[in-house]
Amino acid sequence: MKKLIFLLILLFPFKVSALSASSSIVMDLDNGRILHANNVYDERLIASITKIMTAIVTIEYADLDKSVEVGEEILDAYGSAIYIELGEKLTLRDLLYGLMLRSGNDAAVVIAKNVAGSMEAFAMLMNEVADRIGMDNTYFYNAHGLEEDDGSANTSTAYDMALLTKYAMENETFREIFGAKNYTVKTNYKTYSWTSKNKLIHNHEFITGGKTGFTEKARRTLVTTGSNNNINLVVVTLNDPNDFQDHLDLYEQIFREYEAVKVIDKDTFEVSQDNVYKDDTLYVLEDIYVPVTKEEKGNLRIEYELYKNNKYVDGDKVGSVRIYLGDELVREESIYVLVEEKEEKLSWWERFLRWIKW
């Protein structure tokens, strides 16, 4: 897979202005296609962008509306904080907003304790998710991203962090938290009003989310997402002293050079089929767009596959639509069936009996 990605980049190079990042990537959120790559597989310290994994693990494994009490685990927290106190009560959802908007390391340790019982157990969950979604060059030691006293530290790559963000953005709750600009919560102690540290989300309408990170060893790390004219992207930079500007430059260049072509219109969707589904309606859930350059436009093609299923019910997945750019599969979506109500055929005698309400 890695060899294929690098081959595509060599064949279809995308020129960007000079970047300050040691590693950087732009990935299409809809299909995982890489539109810009710079040292994407180099393993580096990732600092607080770790908290993207912390958030999605919490969302998947815990009840976010559960109220938790801050315990003695808070005494182990240091660095950036939301300044919660021993004995204070919040929900896990509140803590996630503090984690993502203000990068609260104190929120991270409380989350880890209440979701998994300990930081070590929570890190195991993080690594299980990383393995499951294909983050092959990533390892997590903790939920906050700080380097440990023994020298151990969370490491990943620009590619893996883009892959993680693509996965997390498929979750509606994550999208809401990741894209929040502000959040206010009242606890049994006080009222908090948090504003996102990601200044891009406050100043640019196309930015849909983001997470900042910094330690002395990792330096500045940043993950953002952005959307414009049906192009949905994630940008990751590692060790980048000029990260906010570099992200803007990458978005602007991609949006300028690529156009989202609508290859499937959900309202007019049709597919040639045999007699299996002839009495019913096949549909897709949404319009399907593929970002391409002018040179790539003519290389798009569509293939359909319908399953031989004679026992389907309304809403079943009954096939797939695949979009290729040349020989590369760039998008695959499910085809569903809408079972039409069939008019009951009655004999004249049955109609007569119903008429007289027999």
What is the spatial distance between Cα 232 and Cα 286, in angstroms, rounded to a whole number?
14
pLDDT for res 357: 63
Q: How many CB atoms lie within 10 A of CB 347?
A: 8
Task: State the first-to-last Cα distance of the chain, in angstroms, to the nearest integer.
Answer: 69
Catalytic residues: 48, 51, 103
pLDDT for res 10: 38
pLDDT for res 144: 98
Prediction pTM value: 0.88
pLDDT for res 11: 42
Residue with tokens 């509606």: 172
Strands lying side by side in the sheet with 23-28: 34-38, 23-28, 231-238, 219-228, 207-215
Per-block average pLDDT, block size 10, for the chain (358 residues)?
Answer: 46 56 97 96 98 98 97 94 97 98 98 98 98 98 95 96 98 98 97 97 97 97 98 98 97 96 94 79 94 93 89 91 94 91 64 65
pLDDT for res 280: 87
pLDDT for res 3: 47
Instruction: Please enumerate in sequence order all residues whose Cβ is within 8 A of that of 209, keeping only pairs 6 or more positions apart, or say none.
Output: 169, 175, 178, 179, 198, 201, 224, 225
Question: H or E stretch including 113?
Answer: helix 105-116
DSSP state of 92: H
